[in-house]
Amino acid sequence: MGCVGLSNIKLPNNLISIGYRAFCLVAALTSTTITIPDNVESIGYGAFSFGMSLTEIMVTPNNRFYTVRDGVLFDKAMKTLMAYPGGKYSISYTVPDGVTNIGADAFFQAQNLISVSLPDGLLSIGNGAFFESTYLETINIPNSITHIAEGAFGASGLRNINIPMNVISIGERAFAFCENLTDITIPNSVTSIGDYAFSFLQRLSNVTIPNSVTHIGKDAFWGSDSVVINCYNNSSAHTFAVQNSIKFSLLDAYNITATASPAGAGTVTGAGTYRHGANVTVRAAANTGFVLDGWYENNAKVPNANASYSFIATRNRTLEARFVPVGHTVAVAAGTGGRVSGGGTVNNNTNVTVGATANKGFTFDGWFENGKRVSGNARFTFKVTKDRTLEARFVKNPARPASFKVTRNGRKARVTWRRQTGARVEIQHRIGNGKWRTVRRTAAGASSWQTGSLSRRRKHSYRIRAYRTTGGRAIRSAWTARRSVDIK
């Protein structure tokens, strides 16, 4: 190892064993090929880590333990890839199907490789397997891998890495000095991260570490000065970040539930799942007829929580926006000539009845709001959806007609009374003790009426009353006493 003056290698036919890293880092070597003779039974890992000079490995046909394919050294069963020549000109390489192991230092300083495809069913990747493959940008790690060995990808040119879900541990210096890596996600299967595993990753900005990781080795992120550890509150990664003064962002997801009560009284927004430390704003909007009473949690009113309530997500929360009906004012007033009842402060959508009673000599005219008649019923029932101001108006009944007289004029009778400005008169007549019948309704301001011919030998009686029409209703006085004439 490290023989500075060695420029050419020829292995003797009686050679049985080649040791671990036997010809590693032979800087002056000019040989581009090396041949494994027939009798070699064992070759240590990293034995031919020459660097850029070696482009092909060959094995004599009668060797019982090793074979080559495309200049790459394998064990005879093609289960273990032993060595990939560092100077091989290919920029991509696909490890043959059936290979289950990548030997230690197998791709050490593979200077031309940009991408490598590993087969399904691969069980192990040895220590330093891709160490200092500085141009290697992409590689797939199959799901069958459970451990990433020490220095397996150290100082390589990887730009991204997908660590599969079955990996349990990441060894020491596994990705150290991979200066092109920017984001790494550790899957939930990993429980251990070795010493210096991600050290000196100058461009690494984010690494996500799950709760499953219970051990993080010494200086695992030493020299990765820009990294932010995404982790969960109180996890091993969180503790590691705090103890080593590394920036961190907590990933904890909290369920924020928001509901409106009672149903139909209002709406809420802002519920959902939020990461630890996220800003959360829930908003409550009352429907017509309701106002927000407040936000409640565990039946306790949340202090200082307005309709728009903001807080930091640090735990699961179940919030309830409680609404109450709006209190509307129903104001009632009576005009001259009567009195009213009802009104006051009532809840929204409540049925309310107000009443109006006319004083003697007056008649209820109607309920008015903003100068418009809204009801002609003295008992007015309605549903309250807003503040209302109602006035019960009354009109003075017309006076009973004065100076009422009935005088005979031959077979006719003349009915007279004192005129009332704006009032009409209703005249009723009966014969003997018969039924009263209305025979005339005069024009306003009239003061007399002449009958037609009346039946003889009968007593004819008359009575009158004054009336006015307002709001489609007749307002009447009391009847006068009757006056009678006899027709001979």
Give 94's DSSP letter: E
pLDDT band at residue 26 using 50, 70 and 90 as cut-offs: low
| Buried/exposed code over 243-261 (b: 16+ C-beta within 10 A; e: otherwise) | eeebebebbbebebebebe
The pLDDT value given to residue 28: 45
pLDDT score of 127 more than 90: yes
Q: What is the pLDDT of residue 2?
A: 45
Q: Does a structural domain hold residue 142?
A: no
Q: What is the pLDDT of residue 91?
A: 96
Query: End of a domain among 299, 325, 351?
Result: 325
| Predicted pLDDT of residue 44 | 73
pLDDT for 193 beyond 80: yes
- End residue of a domain, out of 275, 295, 325: 325
| Mean pLDDT (whole number) for 113-117 | 96
The answer, yes or no, to whether residue 187 has pLDDT greater than 50, is yes
Give 262's DSSP letter.
Answer: S
Is 136 part of a structural domain of the chain? Answer: no
Question: Are 419 and 470 contained in the same domain?
Answer: yes
Q: Please report the pLDDT score of residue 476 as a whole number.
A: 87
- Count Cβ atoms within 10 A of the Cβ of residue 424 and give its class: 0-12 exposed, 13-18 middle, 19 or more buried: buried
Domain co-membership, 348 together with 294: no
Q: How many residues does the chain have?
A: 488
Location of structure tokens 């961190």: 248
Confidence (pLDDT) at 202: 93
Distance CA 274, CA 316 (A): 9
Q: Are residues 414 and 446 in the same domain?
A: yes
Q: What are the pLDDT digits (tens) for 413-431?
A: 999 999 988 889 999 999 9
Mean pLDDT of the chain: 90
Write the single-letter amino acid at 221.
F
Could you report how far apart the first and last alpha carbons of the chain are, in Å? Answer: 163
**CA-closest candidate to residue 34, choices 16, 61, 53, 14:** 53
* Inside any domain, residue 36: no
In whole angstroms, what separates CA 7 from the centre of its chain? 69
**Residue 460 structure tokens:** 């004819």
- Residue 425 shares a structural domain with residue 483: yes
pTM here is: 0.60
Strand partners, 230: 208, 249
Residue 387 structural domain:
328-396
* Domain co-membership, 308 together with 332: no
CA 332 – CA 241 distance, rounded (Å): 72
| Joined tokens for residue 178 | 């991979």
Q: Name the nearest CA neighbour of 68 among 82, 80, 58, 83.
A: 58
Judge whether 67 and 78 are in contact, CB under 8 Å.
yes
Q: Are 315 and 340 in the same domain?
A: no
CATH code for position 467:
2.60.40.10
| pLDDT above 60 for 6 | no
Residues 336 and 317 in one domain: no
Measured distance CA(189)–CA(220) in Å, rounded: 18
Residue 384 in 3-state DSSP? strand
**Regarding predicted confidence, which is higher, 296 or 32?**
296
Following DSSP, what letter does each residue of 439-473 receive, concatenated? EEEPPTT--EEE-----TTEEEEEEEEEEEEETTE
**Confidence category of residue 5, pLDDT binned at 50, 70, 90:** very low
Q: Is residue 181 one of the residues assigned to a domain?
A: no
Q: Which of 91, 50, 141 is nearest to 73 (CA)?
A: 50
Mind spelling out the 3-state secondary structure of 136-177? CCEECCCCCCCEECCCCCCCCCCCCCCCCCCCCEECCCCCCC
Range scoring the smallest mean pLDDT among 22-26, 220-224, 302-306, 422-426: 22-26
Q: What is the mean pLDDT of residues 372-378?
A: 91
**Listed range (165-174, 193-202, 372-381) with the worst mean pLDDT:** 372-381
409, 483: one domain: yes
pLDDT over 70 at 265, yes or no = yes
What's the angle, vertex CA 229, arms to CA 225 and CA 235, rounded to 5? Answer: 135
Which pLDDT score is estimated for 346? 84
Task: Supply the pLDDT for residue 142.
Answer: 96
Residue 11 pLDDT grade (very low, low, confident, very high; cuts 50, 70, 90): confident
Say yes or no to pLDDT of 438 above 80: yes
* 482 belongs to a structural domain: yes
- The whole-angstrom separation of Cα 283 and Cα 425 is 68
Q: Please list the residues that pair with 231 across neighbouring strands.
A: 250
Q: Return the pLDDT at 223.
A: 95
pLDDT of residue 52: 61
- pLDDT (tens digit per residue) in 129-142: 999 999 999 999 99
Tokens representing 480? 């006068």
Where does a domain end: 285, 310, 325?
325
> For the chain, how many structural domains are there in total?
3
Q: Is residue 239 part of a domain?
A: no
d(CA 221, CA 335): 88
Answer whether residue 29 shows pLDDT above 60. Answer: no
Q: Which pLDDT band, with edges at 50, 70 and 90, does 268 fall under? A: very high
CB environment 357-382: b (16+ within 10 A), e (fewer) = ebeeebbbbbbbeeeeeebeebebeb
d(C-alpha 460, C-alpha 419), whole Å: 23
Residues 6+ apart with CB under 8 A from 154: 128, 130, 131, 132, 173, 174, 175, 176, 177, 178
- In this structure, are 265 and 338 located in the same domain? no
Rounded CA separation 232/314 (Å): 11
Top-confidence residue, 53 or 130: 130
Sequence-distant contacts of 208-216: CB under 8 A, at least 24 apart? 208/184, 208/251, 209/235, 209/236, 209/237, 210/186, 210/235, 210/237, 211/235, 212/188, 213/186, 213/237, 215/191, 216/192, 216/240
Residue 264 lies in a domain: yes
State residue 21's pLDDT score.
65
State residue 24's pLDDT score. 60
Predicted pLDDT of residue 361: 84
Please check whether residue 122 lies inside any domain of the structure.
Answer: no
Give residue 425's pLDDT: 92
